[in-house]
């Protein structure tokens, strides 16, 4: 049986974006201008909304309203409309569910890049992915809320969020260089590439998590957790590889039944957290 989440959800964890508009405005002009002056008027809450969406690439508007605006749908919709009107966001409705999703435009991505603290390594994304991947990618935001809540309850603080896009971009060029090497050297180098990225080789491959959350724990040590969002499309071998890689595995409630039937492995499904 899947383990259920703790119903005592803490206050909304902040996506790492520590520089507020007030802090930026208070700096000397030479320090705060790293490009042309932006023609945008943004509240702190709107800037944080851009950071949420850019961090996860795409979000469902209903999830944004629930987590970022504490259920205030009217305020969420008003600020999203303002960001769309300023050309910083695009929205798309998915049929037949009629769920509405948001993604940054290139301009929205540029705004975040200009206002991001110099030392920050947080990556922001723009543009929609393939329509068939919208539901899964948007659900990673909900997954983050669960993981960040657990970290906060244990006295930790999130410092950076890494998606599989970023890990693929870093790893794939190194893997491409292995093809010219003899097989024993390929395996040795594959192990090194995985270790350099905090990952594990499983059956000759390097499984990548949907989400990596880097954080400072209660002992002020830097650590991470790698998380996978399983769907009803997963096969047993694929899920088993993710589990062997050490990922924490979650699934939406509506996917738990199909997952159990598809995997037919009580030992494996009991390790899946229900969102």
Give 52-103 pLDDT, tens digit per residue.
999 999 999 999 999 999 999 999 999 999 999 999 999 999 887 789 999 9
**Whether 197 and 111 share a structural domain:** no
What number of residues does the chain have? Answer: 275
CA gap 142, 137 in Å, rounded: 10
**Whether 161 and 123 share a structural domain:** no
- Please report whether residue 137 resides in a domain: no
Q: Is the pLDDT of residue 222 over 90?
A: yes
Contacts by residues 69-73 (CB-CB < 8 Å, ≥ 24 positions apart): 69/45, 70/12
**Whether 122 and 161 share a structural domain:** no
CA distances from 235 to 54, 115, 158, 207, 265 (A): 30, 42, 31, 14, 11
pLDDT recorded at residue 76: 97
Q: 81 is in which domain, residue-wise?
A: 1-129
Tally of domains in the chain: 2
0.85 exceeded by pTM: no
CA gap 6, 3 in Å, rounded: 9
CA gap 140, 199 in Å, rounded: 20
**Whether 223 and 125 share a structural domain:** no
Q: Is the pLDDT of residue 116 over 70?
A: yes
- Please report whether residue 225 resides in a domain: yes
**Whether 171 and 225 share a structural domain:** yes
**Whether 160 and 237 share a structural domain:** yes
Give 11-62 pLDDT, tens digit per residue.
455 666 534 333 333 333 343 344 445 678 899 999 999 999 999 999 999 9
**Whether 51 and 103 share a structural domain:** yes
Tokens of 64: 């944004």
- Please report whether residue 144 resides in a domain: no
**Whether 46 and 115 share a structural domain:** yes
- Please report whether residue 140 resides in a domain: no
């Amino acid at each position: 049986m899947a383990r259920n989440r703790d119903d005592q959800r803490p206050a909304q964890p902040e996506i790492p974006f520590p520089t507020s508009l007030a802090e930026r405005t208070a700096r000397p002009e030479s320090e705060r201008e790293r490009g042309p002056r932006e023609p945008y008027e943004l509240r702190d809450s709107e800037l944080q909304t851009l950071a949420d969406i850019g961090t996860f690439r795409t979000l469902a508007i209903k999830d944004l309203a629930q987590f970022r605006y504490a259920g205030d749908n009217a305020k969420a919709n008003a600020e999203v409309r303002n960001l769309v009107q300023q050309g910083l966001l695009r929205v798309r409705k998915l049929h037949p569910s009629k769920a509405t999703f948001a993604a940054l435009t290139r301009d929205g991505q540029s705004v975040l890049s200009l206002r991001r603290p110099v030392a920050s390594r947080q990556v922001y994304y723009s543009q929609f992915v393939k329509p068939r991947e919208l539901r899964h990618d948007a659900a990673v935001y909900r997954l983050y809320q669960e993981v960040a809540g657990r970290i906060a309850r244990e006295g930790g603080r999130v410092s950076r969020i890494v998606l599989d896009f970023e890990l693929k971009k870093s790893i794939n060029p190194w893997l491409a260089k292995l093809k010219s090497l003899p097989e024993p050297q390929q395996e040795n180098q594959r192990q090194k590439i995985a270790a350099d990225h905090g990952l594990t080789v499983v059956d000759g491959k390097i499984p990548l998590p949907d989400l990596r959350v880097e954080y400072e724990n209660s002992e002020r040590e830097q650590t991470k957790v790698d998380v996978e969002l399983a769907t009803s499309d997963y096969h047993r071998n694929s899920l088993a590889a993710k589990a062997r890689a050490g990922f924490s595995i979650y699934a939406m409630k509506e996917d738990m039944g199909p997952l159990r039937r598809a995997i037919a492995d009580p030992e494996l499904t009991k390790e899946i957290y229900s969102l």
